[in-house]
Structure 1
Amino acid sequence: MSDPVLSVRNLTVDLPKGMERKHAVQDISFDLPRGEILCVIGESGSGKSVTANALMGLLPPLMHVSSGEILFQGQNLLKLDEPALRKLRGRVVSMIFQDPLSALNPLMTVGDQVTEVMAAHGEGTTETRSARALELLTEVGLPDPALMLHQYPFRLSGGQRQRVMIAMALALEPDILIADEPTTALDVTTQAQILDLIQQIQRKKGMSVLFITHDFGVVSEIADRVIVMEKGHMVEQGVADTVFATPQHPYTKRLIAAVPRLREADRPSASSGGDGTSESVLVVEDLNLVYRSGGGWFSRLREVKAVQDASFTLRRGRTLGVVGESGSGKTSLGRLLIKLLDSDSGRILYRGQDIASMKESDFRALRPKIQMIFQDPFASLNPRSTIGHIVTVGPIAQGMRKADARAKALRNLEKVGLDAGAFGRYPHEFSGGQRQRVGIARALMFDPDVLVADEAVSALDVSIQAQILELLDKIQRETQVAMFFITHDLRVASQICDELLVMQKGQIVEAGPPSQIFYAPKDAYTRELVAAIPGADHALQQA
């Protein structure tokens, strides 16, 4: 290992009183090698982000460092006051945050936000800062950088916003770059591009990178060395290849085992008719949706074909997955199926009835039979309502007696792995995986024929992902519900889907069983998606 650029010694960060444990991180020590990428991996609550925030001096007021040292060039950063730390941020150590939309100012252009970093440190003149911003946007691979300078964050895709964050972090050419889950919410091709970009920049500039993630697949793509954290403790560290080949700690072994892998054989059928196929529940024929904007006095009409001539069949007890990059039309298609959006043309036949052409008043009686599990389990649950109210309010509104709704809610909560005590608690008292279980319990209250799962596991740790996927599989086998599963992670799709649709720019470019899609793809775009799967080679070797 080369000389460390940063050393952490016996760091302990205390949590507020009344929390489930006393320390966010306890007595951890490690070195960040010069010019290398060190990955810190662990589940939510393991202390990864707390460690990063402690390095940056960005811990929230309720947390404080009770012991330890963070040494940079012989200087203990924990002894510095706020003005001294502010001088180091950006110039010595910079950070890329997990959610670029929340981290970027929605009221400032991209160019202004990049130049603000330099201006805050008194770097250059207005002209040189603007020139540097253009150079940085070019370096991170943004299309038409001169135009991007004047764009606002909401006009950019997730991958483009993350590239802006990287440009801001590089503005002052820091010695250390901290990347906190920078690819978690991105589709596989964009994720591959961002990982490649970070590696290129790290090698070109000789920076040290502290990369935080929960996905060992990502680690296998980028890491030189690895630290594994569990509940605030560092349980293993070493060279990445060694940790992969011979993990020592049981927790490390569990994390590696939880990484979703491509199945070589298709998923066994849960239900079939006499001819070997399941009963059709939903038949989609030539469905189209066009988003239109502008067209006023001073703007040109802009049209985006979100869904183009989509046709497929969703069968009882089977899961149809749809994969593709952000903007491919996956979520729009899912929203058409549950009539949160109205189609421009085409048919959606639910048990022989065309619901696409139905008015909302006519469809209302059928709505309970087509339910949705949302991507963000916290945003989709009312923080002011108890779990009991969240799960029962829909059925009660549909005419179910309160006593019956309560009894059914308790049965469903037990079915998804939550005890009866959850009924009277609030969403903030649960972890992300538990909140997603609540969302599933809510959807099951109507005994639906169709479940639309929109990125239902993308925000979860890989080990929690595995639990939720297992739960969905169990529920499907018990209830024979048909599932439309939207995901950007092809590894997840391989685990749970019986058939797959591949979407690109609103079109279904390929359809078939997972074995065909992953091992004999016909379309060039499908081959590109499969090639971008993080850790694909390692995953296939271990499958």
Structure 2
Amino acid sequence: MASAPQTVASEDVALSVRDLTVSLPAGMERVHAVENVSFDLKRGQILCIIGESGSGKSVTANAIMGLLPKTIRASSGAIFLEGTNLVGLSSDRLRDLRGRVVSMIFQDPLSALNPLMTVGEQIEEVMAAHAVGSPKSRRSRAIDLLSEVGLPDPQLMYHQYPFRLSGGQRQRVMIAMALALEPAILIADEPTTALDVTTQAQILHLIRDIQRRKGMSVMFITHDFGVVAEIADAVVVMEKGRCVERGSAEQVLKSPSHLYTRRLIAAVPHLTGKDRIPAEAAAQASILKVECLVKTYRSGSPLFRTQRIVPAVNGVTFDLAPGRTLGVVGESGSGKSSLGRLLIKLLDSDSGAILFEGRDVAELSEAQFRPLRPKIQMIFQDPFASLNPRSTIGQILTVGPIAHGVPHKEACEQARELLSHVGLDAGTFGRYPHEFSGGQRQRIGIARALMFKPKLLIADEAVSALDVSIQAQILKLLDQIQRETGVSMVFITHDLRVASQICDEIAVMHRGQIVERGPPSQIFLDPKSAYTRELVAAIPGEQPRGARALAGVNEHWRDIAKNEERL
């Protein structure tokens, strides 16, 4: 059990949570989303709340903001902000505090931003809601904020809609909105989870820089101990709605007292510096050979001089041996996902060749390629979006094979075997996607891809949004499946630490081109390209500060966690 937080003089505390309990509706897997949670956020401090999905991190943040859904409520405890208990406060009082005293950066900026309003209008709306300034001064302040968070050409950015911005740019807009009224407390809910390493490093630097310049208190919610090593002053670890450990960042990282904390640290992917040992020698012939592949996106009109030409994939060439994994890494916009969609022919290439088992599939029509689809399967980044919410898992897994002539009974038996193989119980077959966690849905996505016994798997950011412990389980599962079936993989990711764990060879993409290719030991320990060196330097937890905090910690606690699990 975590000890109660030390008593701190009230003038040093920006936010105090005491014995907070949030009840769940009847029939849920547990009674409380959050149970007897207590912690203090000191003034000018960055406090990281860390834990897996379902640990109660976001519920705690939403309780502080007064944004809990109607189905759940804070049944006991207190949240003290400026001497006021927020629990039970009226909607009007909470609305007055939101944005002015405490603001929040949400995890998914695309869903949090209004798609029908420009980003400038949305920043102004925050100030207008609190009747701050005139329309002219609000516009000027919005442009200043866009500049402060590092967005290029703030005057132009002011008039852009969210869908026209990259993930990192949208996150910067969210930060600008949160800072509009200069609140004393900033709550950041997983603001870097799905971002590439360089954008993630930029956002972390931006939050830390703003916090120091303005003297703000920051509550940073994350599941990544690499991020904790980079920015945290203090840490609270949550498991299943309870605080199991708290302390300074150095104390929790170097001397964790709770087994759950040790398991989380042990699960953090880490640059190994070692090349993966293959199960057996690869055959001479490549299963996949890509030659000078090109895909260019065009938008707008040349007539009105608004045409925009983006070379998404520009002359990409590589080959992949049977039973091997090629990692494709790079920033958002580097062309990784476009390459994956070209390989499975969800997009048509402009030129170049895709030789699968010696046959050029790039030039095939959809009708000609359809018989080959069972041999090339894809694991999508967002399993919830790629699974039909109206179909049971059994239907999702069997509809494809049945359409290709597999008898219904045989397809069902195979589906049940695969669900068991990926670590899901027999009851999964008749349930719906919304009944599963993110990690379980990703396992279902893997099972669906394996239903055809493919020879090539394209995994597009298959673990990017998962907790580190679930991420480790999925990586172990993919490695096991590859060694058992001999399937080849193209593993697309922005997380270089993940790539070092599972890939035999890594191709680094930048602006549609492969700028470097080689084994993990070369890419991570002796990169030749300046761009690759920038990517490696941006990995959270691998920098001088993070390296000092995490040096040797992962392996040490991984061994201890394994020993305690055996006991």
TM above 0.5, yes or no, is yes
SS of structure 2 residue aligned to 1:366: helix
**Alpha-carbon shift at residue 136 of structure 1 (Å):** 0.6
Equivalent pair of 2:208/2:231 in contact (CA under 8 Å): yes
Aligned pair 1:335/2:344, yes or no? no
Partner residue of 2:129 out of 120, 141, 162? 120
**1:146-157 matched pairs, under 5 angstroms:** 146-157=155-166
Q: 2:341, 2:316 → 1: CA distance?
A: 13
**Any idea what the Cα deviations from partners look like across 1:249-296, whole Å, max 9, x if unmatched?**
0000000000001112101012314xxx65410010111111111225
Q: What pairs with 1:420-435 in structure 2 (closer than 5 Å)?
A: 420-435=426-441
Q: Which residue of 2 aligns with 1:7?
A: 16
Whether the aligned pair in 2 keeps the contact of 1:262 and 1:539 (CA below 8 Å) is: no
Match 1:436 to one of 430, 437, 442: 442
Report Cα offsets for 1:111-139 as digits up to 9, x if no partner: 10011100100000011111111111111
Does the 8 Å CA contact 1:24/1:47 hold for their aligned counterparts? yes
In structure 2, the partner of 1:45 is 54
Q: Give yes or no for contact 1:271–1:318 (8 Å, CA) kept in 2.
A: no
Q: Post-superposition shift, 1:407?
A: 1.1
Structure 2 distance, partners of 1:61, 1:52, is 15
Q: Deviation digits for residues 286-325 of structure 1, max 9, x if unmatched?
A: 1111111122543433211000111101111110000000
What is the match of residue 72 of structure 1?
Answer: 81
Aligned to 1:34: 43
Percent identity (aligned): 71
Question: Is the contact between residue 317 and residue 482 of structure 1 (CA under 8 Å) also seen in structure 2?
Answer: yes
C-alpha contact (below 8 Å) 1:93/1:174 kept by paired residues: yes
- Alignment deviations for residues 484-525 of structure 1 (CA, whole Å, 9 cap, x no partner): 000000000000000000000101000000110000000000
Which of 182, 201, 206 aligns to 1:197? It is 206
Query: Unaligned 5+ residue runs, structure 1?
Result: none
- Per the alignment, residue 171 of structure 2 pairs with 162
CA positional deviation for 1:539: 4.5
Report the CA distance between 1:421 and its aligned residue: 1.5
Question: Take 1:366 and 1:395, find their aligned partners in 2: how far apart are those partners?
Answer: 13
With over 3 angstroms needed to count, the CA separation of the structure-2 counterparts of 1:439 and 1:9, relative to structure 1, is same
Is 1:17 matched with 2:29?
A: no
Please name the residue that 2:563 is paired with.
none
State the secondary structure of the residue aligned to 2:385.
Answer: coil
Partner of 1:94: 103
State the distance in 1 between where 2:82 and 2:447 align: 53
2:239 alignment partner in structure 1: 230
Residues 393-452 of structure 1: per-residue CA shift (max 9 Å, x gap): 000001111011111111111111112221111111111111111111111111100000
| Distance in 1, Cα, partners of 2:413 & 2:191 | 42
Q: Distance in 2 between matches of 1:84 and 1:447?
A: 58
Q: Partners in 1 of 2:404 and 2:115 — Cα distance? A: 40
The code of the aligned residue for 1:372 comes to M
Deviates more, 1:431-440 or 1:74-83: 74-83
1:472 to 478, 481, 492: 478
Q: Does 1:307 align with 2:313?
A: yes
Secondary structure at the aligned position of 1:458 is classed as coil
Q: Can you list the C-alpha shifts for 1:1-50, whole angstroms capped at 9, x where unaligned?
A: 77111111110000011000000000111101000000000000000000
Partner Cα distance (2:67, 2:52) in 1: 21
Per the alignment, do residues 204 and 278 of structure 1 end up closer, same or farther by CA in structure 2, a change over 3 Å counting? farther
Distance in 2 between residues matched to 1:421 and 1:65, nearest whole Å: 33
What amino acid does structure 2 have at the position aligned with 1:429? E
Moved more, 70-79 or 501-510: 70-79
Q: Counterpart of 1:218?
A: 227
Q: Which runs of 5+ in 2 are unaligned?
A: 1-7, 556-567
Instruction: Give the match for residue 526 of structure 1.
Output: 532
Partners of 1:161 and 1:481 lie apart in 2 by: 37
Contact 1:271 1:278 (8 Å CA) reproduced = no
Please list, as runs of the form range in 1=range in 2, the aligned pairs for 1:114-513 lying within 5 A after superposition.
114-273=123-282, 279-295=285-301, 297-513=303-519
Secondary structure in 2 aligned to 1:185?
coil
Q: Distance in 1 between matches of 2:142 and 2:355?
A: 52
What is the alpha-carbon distance in structure 2 between the residues aligned to residue 336 and residue 284 of structure 1?
10
In the alignment, residue 436 of structure 1 is paired with which amino acid?
Q
- What secondary structure, in the 3-state scheme, does the structure 1 residue paired with 2:386 have? coil
Task: Write the distance in 2 (CA, Å) between the matches of 1:73 and 1:109.
Answer: 33
Which runs of 4 or more aligned residues in structure 1 lie more than 3 Å from their structure 2 counterparts after TM superposition? 538-543
Q: Distance in 2 between matches of 1:358 and 1:507?
A: 24
Local SS of the residue matching 1:18: coil
The TM-score, its normalising length taken from structure 2, stands at 0.94
d(CA) in 2 for partners of 1:541, 1:255: 14
In 2, Cα distance between the equivalents of 1:216 and 1:359?
A: 47
Task: Count matched residues.
Answer: 540
Q: CA deviation at 1:472?
A: 0.2
- Hey, what's the Cα distance between the residues in 2 that align with 1:295 and 1:111? 26
Q: So what's the TM-score if we normalise by structure 1? A: 0.98
Counterpart AA for 2:105: I
| Structure 1 position 541, deviation (Å) | 3.7
Q: Does 1:514 align with 2:520?
A: yes
Q: Which amino acid letter does the alignment assign opposite residue 84 of structure 2?
A: Q
